[in-house]
Structure formats: structure tokens, C-alpha cells
A and B are shown apart, each in its own frame.
Chain A
């Protein structure tokens, strides 16, 4: 325990000094989870909380990575030292993954920037812990801003992107009509919309559908509640059209968050969500341990014999965790 703590501290100190390889190793430890990941997340947490976190999300193939690559170039040219965390799905069958986001980014990355690919590794709970820890780590060693790129499929991915300071949702022409755009979900977490591949037929229809959706938010009162209307930007990430507008929109949104004081609310929500996720995982792992123990076996028998219900069994197991603390 002491040696793993020392190792983590040494790696952390060297990463703060700008040693990229140490940062790479720290991220590996964070992804692996367990004690060492907690030590590292703890070290990072103490000195983080400053960097602006941008989430970029959208359907597979909508051009998120290419847009991220464009933003990498623009931020780097402006002298920012930014980090990108590109999250891609693991195969549910084998646990393997092909992480190909760097293809769209490498040419455009400045020397100061740092790109890390992360696989979802099947267990969504792990991702829910690893992503915030990685953000705090990038923050602690001085990256500003941090971009998180995830596929907007699945609750955890939406949560991760939605928990950013600024969430950019990338859509493409032909994604569906106005009814689709009004369904709840990904579109609701957007602070900025990007209609990518805007050279394709249907791009202006996609824009109109989004405008209409936002107009309805005005009618329903949602816009007054949030006090903010997300801009819609037409872009073509292949040739870079619109990327500078996206950059400007990210900066204006950051300014809006600061001026309105909403940045503190967002960041508090993010930390609360992280605590919540950690509680759930702790309770879950403790509870499944109990389920495999003698107490669990006797509960299962009682449920099988129809003496207690599954709900009563679950309550008594969770109750035994609380009373043992």
C-alpha cells in the first residue's frame, strides 16, 4: 500500500513537472481503478477545479473526432495547452477495442497538447469514475481546456458529456425530423449545436429543425428557466469550415458561465454526481460481496421459499451494510 502510494506520488510530481510519460502511466492507473486510482484521483483533486471542460458528443460518424482535431489546431495556435480524452466503446464480447480517434487529430495537434484514448471497458461504472478522475488529473498538471469526446449513445456517455462545463452536440443532415429533435435526451444537454457536414443535402433542414426545437423551448418556458439559448453552428470539419465559430461559441459560453455564476453550480453538480457514482459503486460491490456470503445465501433461500420478497431481501442486505459501518 505504501509503495503503491509512493509510486503514485512520484509519478504525479513528475507529471506536474511536464513529464508526459508519467502522465500516460497515471492515466493507465486511473483506468485500471482500485486503490492506486483513488490515491491519484485524490492528489489531483486537491489542486484541480480550474480548467474549462468541453464535452463533444454526437452519433457515431457525425464527425466529432474531426471537429475535435480542428479545435485542437485552433486552441494550440492560440497558445493553449489542451488535453483531449477520446472515449470509444469496448467490444462487449471480447473486451477489446479499436481506438481510432487519433487518426483525425494527430496532424493537427500542437506539440504542447496531449491526446489520450480511453475504452469504455464494458463496465459503465468504471467509465463514470475514470473520466472525472482523468479530467482532474489533466487539470492538476496544467492542461486548459480539457476536451472530452464521447459517442452520445448510452446513459453514461450522455452523463459524461453533459457534465462538462460546455457541451457541444454534433448532428448531421438526415438525422431525423423535428419530432426527433424534440425527443428528450442528448439534445437537451447541448450548450452549442454543430450541424456538421453542412455541405450535404438537408443541412439547412437540420438547422431549421433545431431552431424550431429551441423556439418551442422558448414557448414552453425552458429557455427562460435556463436563461440561455444554444447557438447553432454550420460546420464542415473536413475542410475546417465553421471550426473558428465553434471555438468562439465555446469561449462565449465559458464567459456566460463565469458572468452568471453558473460555472460554480455546474462544477458542484459534477462533483455531486461523482460522489453519487462512487457511492453506488461502493454499495454495489459491498452488496454483491454479501450476496455471495452466508447471509446472502440464507436470504436467497428465504426468497426461494417465498418467505420474503426480493425487495425485502435487498433491503435487509443494504441494511446490514449500513449497520456494519
Chain B
């Protein structure tokens, strides 16, 4: 008998029986479990049990006064009846449609199957007032499935990583989580080489390899991808923190208050940053509506950027 058939028969027998089934009874029923070597048969049965457990099928051993043997815990194994309203179905379908259309979204097959288990089809997104879409760059999207496997199974990942300055180095990372931000997928985890938490952009990875076995680590208590990704790029650890002051036209201060906090009564923000380049981008984006007042090095960067724009416009126009 092939193993697939044996495992399905085993599930069938255990869930159909009203009483626990002993290993002796299974030996009689299954030719595959028969033979002289009890230890070998037990090991085979334990391997089958582990395979089923991996799929969420829970076999328990009952050892009461009047009965012993294995049962299939149907409550722990199978989904209960699920009552979902039309609005919940539509919301889930809307979310699923957007996810399935996103390059790199991991576990697509699992999502499709899970929706069917819930009796929902991605085409049921008939909610009139809401539509969702994400955009993800294709570069690096091919790595997301493997990275997500590493996150699910708590395994280490090895890859070559190209930094923004072009330097490439080998990394070994405990995969804590992945996230999509502004169209790019990122892995977040403990970098063994640096001895600290780091974020890696999937498009800068080469040949990520999920290491066998595991789980290799425990995710730290209280870790949250949502909180980590919510950290503004201003707080990314690029250099030692500096304090900057920026004047913003009071008419548009609301555009930056989430990132910069409240301005003083002169409409000047005081911003702590360890990524001044990002602050320069933000100030440039506001144009005439903002002026970076300090520190002088950051002012010099803005001046350099503006001069570069003028130089680019000095050539002949068409």
C-alpha cells in the first residue's frame, strides 16, 4: 500500500471508530503495520503520526481505566461550522483580491485554499464602497515565498546582500518577519554577523537559502513587524542622531506632523534624526513651503542638491 493511501485510511479508521483503537488492532487491519519486528512497526506508525500532525491532524493516545488506544481529535483537527456574514465575506474577498494581485505575495496557493475553506471566493468583492490595491516591485518578489517559509518555520536564511553603496557581503539572519513598504518587500530579523536586528530589502538579496531543520530560534517576546515597519525612515540607523530644525509654512504643517511632531509657535519643527538624507528629501519635497534651518551640514546638502538641479537644467533644452 502506498503511504498516501495508508495515511488516509488511518485517518478514516480512527475518526470512524467509536472507541480508541489500539496499535494491535491497527496491526491487524493494516498489512503495512504487520510483521515480526514490533519496534520497527511502532517507528513506522510514529512517522505516520508525525506526518499527519504536520498537516494539523491530531491523534491522541487515550489511557483510561476501561479503554486505551488512539483517537482522532476531530475538534482539534477540523474547522468548526463558520458563520460569516456577507459583509465579512466581501471584506475578505477584497483583501484577498488585492493580495493575489501583488507580486511576491507569499503562500498564494494556501490563500486560495483557505478562502475556499471559508466558503469565500476572491471574486466576491462586491462591497460597493471599498477597493484595495498594492503595488510591489518585481525585483526581489521571487524571494518572498522562501523568506516567508523561513518566517513560518523559524529558520535561518543565508544570502549575499548588496548594500546601497554597492558593497556585497554574506549574511545569516534569523527570519522574524517580512513586510511590504512603498512597493518593496523587506525581511526583518536578527543578523548574526552584526549581532543586532536588521532590515534587508529583498531586491538586494542574491540566492537566499533557507537552512534545513529548525526551528533555529525563538522570536523575542513582544516583537512586532507592524511596530518595526512603522518606524519612520528618519529613525533608521544610518549615522549618529542629530537634531535638525525646519520651518514649515503654517498652511501645510499638517502634512508633516505625523513624522515630525508639533511645531513651535514660529512654525519651526525640531526633528531628531539618524538619517538626515531622508529629512533632506522631505524638505526638498515641500519646496518653497519649508526651509531647513539647522544643522549646517544638512543645509549644505540641500544647497548641493539644488545646485545639481540647476546644473542639470543648464544644458540645451529641446
- Whether A and B are associated in the same complex: the answer reads no
